[in-house]
Amino acid sequence: MSCSFGSKIKLTIFGQSHSQAIGCVLDGIPAGIKLDSDRIEAFMARRAPGKNAMSTARAEADKPRIISGVVDGVTCGAPICAIIENSDTRSGDYEKLRILPRPAHSDFAAYMKHNGFNDIRGGGNFSGRMTAPLCFAGAVCTQILESKGIHIGAHIASIGLIDDERFDPVNTEKEHLDSIKAKALPVISDEKGKMMASSVSDARADGDSLGGTVECIVIGLPAGIGDPIFDGMENKISAAVFGIPAVKGIEFGSGFEGSKLKGSENNDAFYSDNEKIKTKTNNHGGILGGITSGMPVIFRCAFKPTPSIAKEQKTVNLATGENETLSVGGRHDPCIVQRAVPCVEAAAAIAIADFII
Amino acid sequence: MSCSFGSKIKLTIFGQSHSQAIGCVLDGIPAGIKLDSDRIEAFMARRAPGKNAMSTARAEADKPRIISGVVDGVTCGAPICAIIENSDTRSGDYEKLRILPRPAHSDFAAYMKHNGFNDIRGGGNFSGRMTAPLCFAGAVCTQILESKGIHIGAHIASIGLIDDERFDPVNTEKEHLDSIKAKALPVISDEKGKMMASSVSDARADGDSLGGTVECIVIGLPAGIGDPIFDGMENKISAAVFGIPAVKGIEFGSGFEGSKLKGSENNDAFYSDNEKIKTKTNNHGGILGGITSGMPVIFRCAFKPTPSIAKEQKTVNLATGENETLSVGGRHDPCIVQRAVPCVEAAAAIAIADFII
Amino acid sequence: MSCSFGSKIKLTIFGQSHSQAIGCVLDGIPAGIKLDSDRIEAFMARRAPGKNAMSTARAEADKPRIISGVVDGVTCGAPICAIIENSDTRSGDYEKLRILPRPAHSDFAAYMKHNGFNDIRGGGNFSGRMTAPLCFAGAVCTQILESKGIHIGAHIASIGLIDDERFDPVNTEKEHLDSIKAKALPVISDEKGKMMASSVSDARADGDSLGGTVECIVIGLPAGIGDPIFDGMENKISAAVFGIPAVKGIEFGSGFEGSKLKGSENNDAFYSDNEKIKTKTNNHGGILGGITSGMPVIFRCAFKPTPSIAKEQKTVNLATGENETLSVGGRHDPCIVQRAVPCVEAAAAIAIADFII
Amino acid sequence: MSCSFGSKIKLTIFGQSHSQAIGCVLDGIPAGIKLDSDRIEAFMARRAPGKNAMSTARAEADKPRIISGVVDGVTCGAPICAIIENSDTRSGDYEKLRILPRPAHSDFAAYMKHNGFNDIRGGGNFSGRMTAPLCFAGAVCTQILESKGIHIGAHIASIGLIDDERFDPVNTEKEHLDSIKAKALPVISDEKGKMMASSVSDARADGDSLGGTVECIVIGLPAGIGDPIFDGMENKISAAVFGIPAVKGIEFGSGFEGSKLKGSENNDAFYSDNEKIKTKTNNHGGILGGITSGMPVIFRCAFKPTPSIAKEQKTVNLATGENETLSVGGRHDPCIVQRAVPCVEAAAAIAIADFII
């Protein structure tokens, strides 16, 4: 415990990769909001598996069935529950993993926590598949935030050693974000995107995998949202983003690079722009003292390479205690970063909605 | 809201830099635990101001007065409240900041949030001073964790461009951590420590400041602690660590560097060591699927350079809307990283205690 | 918000009376517990509608479909989600209630809260139907509590002016509780039960309804469970029990009657019984200072008469603002007390599980 | 755990009867609110001990020292912490109770929970003294509610067998509530008040004690506040009110009496009064489906007689396991109901503030 997030809104995610269904409950959404189901499905389609050579061959329709909280397309104030059926499951793929934990995967830790009663099929509730309901909830929150002029976009900032360009942290526009969402590979530089795709292809061919980073920006947030100490923007966004499997780091604004700078270099000077107070640079990532400054909120997060690889690896047989080797079959993404892009947007949307709704 | 943290234990921090007192309430600590007040004060002394040229000249005794929850040195099961009086306050220093927000400081964001009613004196409850009660709570949790064989240590991993050596993520011992805590400057390499002190000294002389990073390790944690999705070790530790002012990034294990690796490079192979399952490397930072693996938990966090600098900076007068320049007087740390080291340990201790107690 | 309950376990209930489905998510149940689905269904059958002349004619199978958290009948540590499809809905019955709020029903308050966007069909998420997932969760918790020797039973303590006998607050045995659960009407005195059935029958014939009280007892609880002030047994049980629609009061032990006694009459003397400390009376209802004493926990709660009655009543047309009269058609229980009995047990089981699991 | 309450605001109470101090932290109060400290102290004076023959001889100034969250009498958005020093403690009075638990008091349950490490002096954090910080927090919330036109008042509804008159549940005015607050004994009928005082006096003379009930009304609440299921007005008010030691029951509106009525009798007909929809009776206690109806919220709660009595009682020596007798010395209220009146108002104010602020 716990698969719940938020205080003003409350998101609860349930399901396992191979359970009958997965889904979520989103409580606290006000009544009277018209939800655009096409846009919800479009959001979710961006993370859906089976799209291209960069992702798993598992094909799921991933069409959410909203079973409560919405009447004739309009929220009624009751908790919104959406269910996504699990259809294309091949549980047999996973039997041997029960006693041969995959290096860098949750198998071993889950075994120790649950005394071997964890659902090993498809990684159980540790599966990347749990991000489907996260994206559903994020898509709902996104629509509400957009009605308040708040827009969220993300892109692949790097895969392996290939870096994309960076968002302009000061002057990014909604149209730019929309154009990235419309791409098959959500990058700023398509040239870099091709190089990324090629390196993923090489890794797959080699029975290996790649990690990367995602950069996310939130524009249109007014100043004054958030709290100091334990309930700041950074605390809440990071608590949501680490809910995405494989995230191992997060940084806001100039982040780790900023820690190498002098105050006179890293401080963002204020200036007055038509009665609005702004900064010309945005090393603070739109957050000061846990509270929004009115500048875009910007952060990057690090994804480790997919643990499940075909290459032979060393592990231990939990039944015998003997050292063994393992080559992971099944259908796995050689890189999950491109599918993680909408998940990061979703996590940010949920975190921000929890402050604003 | 909210200055509270935790679910099994609940920490509430209160006070402002120049209020009568600051303090905290720590609820959920079991009855019957003997607390060593000397060790609590030693823990807090490591973050106390006024120790050397690297920190502010403000001198506070910072001696906590435990007003509830402890009877004859033993916890009684009632919430533990500790108060630290604020004595050496010079509120006059801050008057002009009410309308001239410091670049990169919380002043402007707090003004916008609270419509100017925020306590501007000393940064109010956004002050680094709020980490004193954090350290009190961390010191209490540390004693409980140590009784279970869990030890936490941190060091300055970098200041500006000077890097310390790194912890051995696999084989770090308690004695090594203790030896760092005993140093005037908590670093592994004293040579690098001297270089850091020198660069801070230069920055101060220049009316400027420096940032840096802190690395923290937790040894002795059993496997199986934590949860997937929203209540994992990374979520909770990051939510606590971002409670320390000036933190702008956090990474676990190989973190951002790991995102550049291949799966075959980043995955930590399991092996059996006398019936215990371990990994020979620790790129996963002791956490898999949000749950401890039994290897040391290791993370680094980035601190921005101190915003308050003597150098002239551009800002906006909130009363007139005019652009102005500002040179921050008062007593400020040219670098807070060395004082942040025990704060990071405290945040980790509180986060872990919330899983374990 | 919020349809969630608990801290160690977390129950989230979703759905509306006429949404596609209703259900719940129960998080925090440990892995490795074998659940007896027959007993879950038997528990739920006790509250199911359509059983006899005392309840609504709406017939729902109310068979829960467990879609996550359980593998081969054993919990896997992931959140347990159960869905109950809504099949026998006649939404047309409710159209006029959108503008003619039923006296004593939630219609008007929900309209005001949700600006008329609330789901009026069947009372939406204010419906007594929401107690079906409550009973599912209660049935799961009950099985876990029983494995620890803790047993919960309830009975109709009164309907209208007819009182059943009371539980023996000191010496009630599990077998007695089981025998009541096996009855068509869960009462201690079958003679009183017949009188109750007769009075409900009269009320129905008269287009009217009746309220009543339920008494609940929890045996086998060890001493020392609970907390003072805001997290005591009384606080938590009452917060759960008021989650059942129509509950308007709760009292523990001697309750309101006890407030008329002298201390010397109401105090329960301690005595030693084979090294165990007990009380010979149980006016304290098994709870002292919010904490269990080791004696049975016993409480009673009051249910108002069903608001929906055929008799003509006065209300206001929300569209026109005119006073009107209303006779509620549709299918409604003339008395919900007998169906509430397992709901009260469920609420108690969930509240106690939240302390113990 | 836990001594915390609320979600939008968060109240944390700390201290023990004989610790250095008691107090509370109230987080979530908006910045910019002017607090009237005289009225806070007047509120607290109504529960202060030592006022008359009906209460303990322990005299405490009970003057709260606000140490954070308020600058020049105005809230600054930081958590408000108030401390009340414990001065007049006579801990020696309690030594024998460590092994001779008082019947009906928390001593035994606390001993079992905390393995004897609980603070036995004055009842530790189970003491009625913990209601002093509750009243502080309630006084703050009351001022905020009053600025929104919401007023709360309570009176002694009964002591022992003497009943006061009841509030008019439909047409009670603020002036009536104020007039009761100004009385030495907060009753509607002074004649009944005299009879109550006389019966308390008799009980004291007899080494005995009395219980009673308190009735509380909240006027000026708009319709539409609250939520169904677990976060309704009844759930939250009851969870707060059971935080007051000695409360054993609570009922809203017609409560237990209403459970004996028919629907046609208990239902409150709606009518239109100058565009506002009201009810002519108020059996629903201002709450429908957990949500306010716009009519006054009204509830009653039952207080058991003070457990600590001079009369000889039977108990068990925890050290020897032998049955013994006990006569409780020290300074105890023969009846706490009159002092509980502002506590009930405070609990209601805090619960309602948590919905509204």
pLDDT tens across C18-44, in order?
Answer: 999 999 999 999 999 999 999 999 999
Q: Check whether B50 has a pLDDT greater than 80.
A: no
Is D23 in contact with D11 (CB distance < 8 Å)? no
- Rounded-to-integer distance, Cα A24 and Cα A129, Å: 12
Nearest to B305 among A106, A209, A266 (CB): A266
C-alpha atoms less than 13 angstroms from C-alpha of A339 in its C-beta half-sphere: 29
Respond yes or no on whether the N-terminal peptide bond of residue A201 is cis (omega within 30° of 0): no
Nearest Cα neighbor of C311 from C182, C209, C199, C236 is: C209
- Rounded-to-integer distance, Cα A57 and Cα A65, Å: 23
Q: Check whether C55 has a pLDDT greater than 70.
A: no
Q: Do A289 and B242 touch (CB under 8 A)?
A: no
Is B130 in contact with A314 (CB distance < 8 Å)? no
Q: Which residues of D touch B75 (CB under 8 A)?
A: 117
Phi-psi region of D317 (alpha: psi -120 to 50; beta: other; left: phi over 0): beta
Percentage of chain A exceeding pLDDT 70? 94
CB atoms within 10 A of CB A174: 15
Helix (H) or strand (E) holding C109: helix C107-114
**pLDDT value of position A169:** 98
Give how far Cα B19 sits from Cα of B1, B16, B92, D70, D238, Å.
Answer: 18, 5, 14, 8, 34
Q: How confident is the model at residue B90 (pLDDT cuts 50, 70, 90)?
A: low
Subunits next to D (3 or more Cβ pairs <8 Å) are B, C
Whether complex ipTM tops 0.85:
yes
C93 burial level (CB within 10 Å; 0-12, 13-18, 19+): middle
Strand B247-252 relative to strand B212-219, pairing: unpaired
Nearest Cα neighbor of B255 from C62, C223, A246 is: A246
- Give the nearest chain D residue to C1 (CA atoms): D227
Find the distance separating the first CA and the last CA of chain C, reported in whole Å.
25
**pLDDT value of position B55:** 60
pTM of the predicted protein model: 0.96
Average pLDDT, chain B: 93
Subunits next to B (3 or more Cβ pairs <8 Å) are A, D
Over residues B294-298, the mean pLDDT reads 98
Percentage of chain B exceeding pLDDT 70? 94
Q: D247: distance to nearest CA of chain C, Å?
A: 8
CB atoms within 10 A of CB D36: 14
Quote the longest CA-to-CA distance of chain C.
71
Nearest to C158 among D7, D251, D259 (CB): D259
pLDDT tens profile B237-251: 999 999 999 999 999
**pLDDT value of position C352:** 98
Q: How confident is the model at residue B332 (pLDDT cuts 50, 70, 90)?
A: confident
Q: Do B290 and A106 touch (CB under 8 A)?
A: yes
**pLDDT value of position D60:** 62
Backbone angles phi, psi at D190, to 5 degrees: -65, -30
Q: Check whether C8 has a pLDDT greater than 60.
A: yes
- Rounded-to-integer distance, Cα C301 and Cα B115, Å: 47
Write b or e for each residue in A99-108: b if 16 or more Cβ atoms lie within 10 A of its Cβ, otherwise e. Answer: bbbbbbbbbb
Q: How confident is the model at residue C60 (pLDDT cuts 50, 70, 90)?
A: low
Q: Which domain holds residue D138?
A: 4-356
Q: Is C242 on the interface with A (CB under 8 A)?
A: no
Q: What secondary structure letter does DSSP report for D125?
A: G
Q: How confident is the model at residue A296 (pLDDT cuts 50, 70, 90)?
A: very high
Backbone angles phi, psi at A215, to 5 degrees: -110, 135
- Rounded-to-integer distance, Cα C68 and Cα A110, Å: 16
pLDDT tens profile D204-241: 999 999 999 999 999 999 999 999 999 999 999 999 99
Number of domains, chain B: 1
CA C263 to chain centre: 32
Q: How confident is the model at residue C51 (pLDDT cuts 50, 70, 90)?
A: low
* Poorest-pLDDT segment among A214-228, C95-109, D267-281: C95-109
Can you give the CATH number for the domain in which A148 is found? 3.60.150.10
**pLDDT value of position D53:** 53
Pick among C2, C72, C81 to test the A interface (most A CBs inside 10 A): C81
**pLDDT value of position B93:** 64
pLDDT tens profile D48-83: 875 655 666 556 668 899 999 999 999 999 999 999
Over residues D302-319, the mean pLDDT reads 95
**pLDDT value of position C95:** 73
Q: How confident is the model at residue D2 (pLDDT cuts 50, 70, 90)?
A: confident
**pLDDT value of position A90:** 67
Residue indicated by tokens 């219980």: D211
Nearest Cα neighbor of B296 from B309, B304, B313, B284 is: B284
| Residues paired with B13 in a beta bridge | B24
pLDDT tens profile A129-174: 999 999 999 999 999 999 999 999 999 999 999 999 999 999 999 9
Chain C neighbours among A 120-159 (CB < 8 Å)? 121, 124-125
**pLDDT value of position D122:** 87
Look at the alpha carbons of A115, A119, A123, A129 in this order and tell me if their dihedral is positive or negative. Answer: negative
Backbone angles phi, psi at C110, to 5 degrees: -65, -40
Give the number of residues written for chain A. Answer: 357
Q: B71 by DSSP, 3-state: which?
A: strand
Pick among C161, C225, C244, C259 to test the D interface (most D CBs inside 10 A): C259
Q: How confident is the model at residue B208 (pLDDT cuts 50, 70, 90)?
A: very high
Write b or e for each residue in B114-153: b if 16 or more Cβ atoms lie within 10 A of its Cβ, otherwise e. Answer: beebbbbbbbbbbbbbbbbbbbbbbbbbbbbbbeeebbbb
Nearest to C119 among A30, A71, A121 (CB): A71
- Rounded-to-integer distance, Cα A291 and Cα A352, Å: 11
Find the distance separating the first CA and the last CA of chain D, reported in whole Å.
25
B248: CB partners within 8 A, 6+ apart:
A234, A251, A252, A253, A254, A255, A256, A258, A259, A285, B302, B303, B304
Q: How confident is the model at residue B279 (pLDDT cuts 50, 70, 90)?
A: very high
Chain A neighbours among C 63-82 (CB < 8 Å)? 65-69, 71, 74-81
Q: Is C8 on the interface with A (CB under 8 A)?
A: yes
Q: What secondary structure letter does DSSP report for D336?
A: -
Write b or e for each residue in D306-328: b if 16 or more Cβ atoms lie within 10 A of its Cβ, otherwise e. Answer: bbbbbbebbbbbbeeeeeeebeb
**pLDDT value of position B135:** 98
- SS3 string, B150-208, reads CEEEEEEEEECCEECCCCCCCCCCHHHHHHHHCCCCCCCCHHHHHHHHHHHHHHHHCCC
Q: Check whether B92 has a pLDDT greater than 70.
A: no
Q: How confident is the model at residue C3 (pLDDT cuts 50, 70, 90)?
A: confident
Look at the alpha carbons of C285, C288, C290, C295 in this order and tell me if their dihedral is positive or negative. Answer: negative
**pLDDT value of position A56:** 60
Over residues D325-349, the mean pLDDT reads 91
Nearest to A68 among C8, C14, C32 (CB): C14
Q: How confident is the model at residue B59 (pLDDT cuts 50, 70, 90)?
A: low
Q: A199 by DSSP, 3-state: which?
A: helix
Respond yes or no on whether the N-terminal peptide bond of residue D2 is cis (omega within 30° of 0): yes
Q: Is C20 on the interface with A (CB under 8 A)?
A: yes
**pLDDT value of position A64:** 95
Beta strand spans in chain C (E) = 4-5, 10-14, 21-27, 65-68, 70-71, 74-75, 80-85, 151-159, 162-163, 212-219, 247-252, 270-273, 276-279, 287-288, 291-292, 297-303, 313-316, 323-326
Q: Is D91 on the interface with B (CB under 8 A)?
A: no
Average pLDDT, chain C: 93
Q: C44 by DSSP, 3-state: which?
A: helix
Q: A267: distance to nearest CA of chain C, Å?
A: 40
- Give the nearest chain A residue to B336 (CA atoms): A259
Q: How confident is the model at residue B77 (pLDDT cuts 50, 70, 90)?
A: very high
- Rounded-to-integer distance, Cα B6 and Cα A346, Å: 24
pLDDT tens profile C307-340: 999 999 999 999 999 999 998 876 678 999 999 9
